[in-house]
Amino acid sequence: MVSLLLAVLIGLAMATQWSILGSLGRERGSLQIAWFSGLTTLSVLGLLVVASRVFSGADYSAFNSIVRYEWLIIITLVGSIGLVAVANNLPWWSFCSGLFGLALIVGAAYLVPRIGVAEFFVAVTLGSAIGGVILDHIGAFGNPTTLFSPLRILGLLAIMLGVLLVRIGNFWQE
C-alpha cells in the first residue's frame, strides 16, 4: 500500500512538472525549457550519485561497464554549468521540473520491481490526473484555468476504479 501511495505522489509531482513546463514553455519555448529540465535532472542525479559514493562509500563498480566514475563527475559538472547558463532569469520553482522528472525515474526503478509496471503506471496516472485537475482548477503557474466539474470528478473516479481493478488483478494471480 505504501508503494502504491508513493506512485500516486510521483504522479502528483509529474502533473506539477507538466504545469511548470507548460508555463515556462510559453515564455521561453518548449525546446529550451525541455533542455533546462533535462539538465536539472542530469545535474541533480549526478550530484546524488557522487555524494552517495563519497558519504556512504557505495560501490559503483557497475558504472565501469557503462561509464567510468570520473566521466560521471565530468558529465555532472558540465551539465551543472550548462544549467546555470540556461537558467538566466527563470523563477526558482522552474528547477522543480527537473527534480520531479528525477522522482519519476528513481521512483520507477525502485517501485516497479515491487508492484509491477501496470500498478505503477495506473497509480502514477491517478496521481497525475488528480494533480492535473487541481492545478487546472487554480490555474497554477499562470496556465489556463479549467474549473472542477462533475465530469472531471467522474473521470478521476474512473481512474481510481482502474487502479483498484489492476490491484485486485495482482492479488488474484497470487
- The tens place of each residue's pLDDT in the chain, 174 residues long, gives 899 999 999 999 999 999 999 999 998 999 999 999 999 999 999 888 888 777 777 666 666 666 677 788 888 899 889 888 888 888 999 999 999 999 999 999 999 999 999 999 999 999 999 999 999 999 999 999 999 999 999 999 999 999 999 989 877 776
Q: Which pTM does this prediction carry?
A: 0.88
Write the single-letter amino acid at 142.
Answer: G
Total residue length of the chain: 174
Residue extents of the structural domains in the chain: 2-173
Give the integer Cα–Cα distance in Å for 42 and 77.
10
The predicted structure's pLDDT at residue 71:
81
The predicted structure's pLDDT at residue 100:
95
Residue environment code for 55-80, b if the CB has 16+ CB neighbours within 10 A, otherwise e = eeeeeeeeeeeeeeeeebeeebeebb
